[in-house]
Amino acid sequence: MTIEEILQTRVRATRRATSIPLIVVPIGVILVALSPLVDLDFEVGMVVTPVVALALWISMKVTAVRAGVGMGRERYGLIVIVIALVSTVWLIQLALGPAFLLGVLLFFVGWRSLDRGQWTAGAIIAVASPVLSYSLIQTLVYRIEEALTGAVWETAMAADDVVLLLLGVFFLVSGLKRFGRESATLRRRSS
Amino acid sequence: MNPFDLDETIHQRTRLGIMTVLYEAGEADFAFLKSTLDLTDGNLGRHIEVLAAAGYVATRRGYDGRRARTWVSLTPQGTSALRIEVDMLRDIVGRVQPSQN
ipTM, 2 decimals?
A: 0.77
Q: Which residues of A touch B90 (CB under 8 A)?
A: none
Q: Which residues of A touch B29 (CB under 8 A)?
A: 68-69
Q: Is the pLDDT of residue B100 over 60?
A: no
Domain span at B24? 3-87
Closest Cα partner for A79 from A111, A45, A127?
A111
Q: Is residue B15 part of a domain?
A: yes
Contact A70 B71 (CB under 8 A): yes
**Structural domains in chain B (count):** 1
pLDDT value of position B18: 95
Q: Which residues of B touch A14 (CB under 8 A)?
A: 25, 32, 36
Q: Are strands B67-74 and B57-64 parallel, antiparallel or unpaired?
A: antiparallel
Contact B25 A72 (CB under 8 A): yes
What average pLDDT does range B18-25 have in this prediction?
94
Decide if A129 contacts A96 (C-beta within 8 A): yes
Q: Is residue B95 part of a domain?
A: no
Closest Cα partner for B57 from B96, B100, B93, B9?
B9
To test the contact with chain A by mutation, choose from B18, B24, B72 the residue with the greatest count of A C-beta atoms within 10 A, namely B24
Q: Is residue B92 part of a domain?
A: no
Measured in angstroms, the CA of A123 and the nearest CA of chain B are apart by 25
Decide if A178 contacts A46 (C-beta within 8 A): no
Higher pLDDT, B6 or A119: A119
- Measured CA to CA, the distance from residue A110 to residue A115 in angstroms comes to 5
List of chain A residues with pLDDT < 70:
42, 189-191
B20, B27, B73: residue with CB nearest A7: B20
pLDDT value of position B94: 81
| ∠ Cα A187 A16 A126 (to 5°) | 140
Environment class of residue A102 by beta-carbon count within 10 Å: exposed (0-12), middle (13-18) or buried (19+)? buried
A7, A71, A189: residue with CB nearest B26: A71
CATH for B39: 1.10.10.10
A3, A8, A68: residue with CB nearest B24: A8
What average pLDDT does range B20-45 have in this prediction?
93
Write the pLDDT tens digit of every residue in B48-69.
999 999 999 999 998 877 788 8
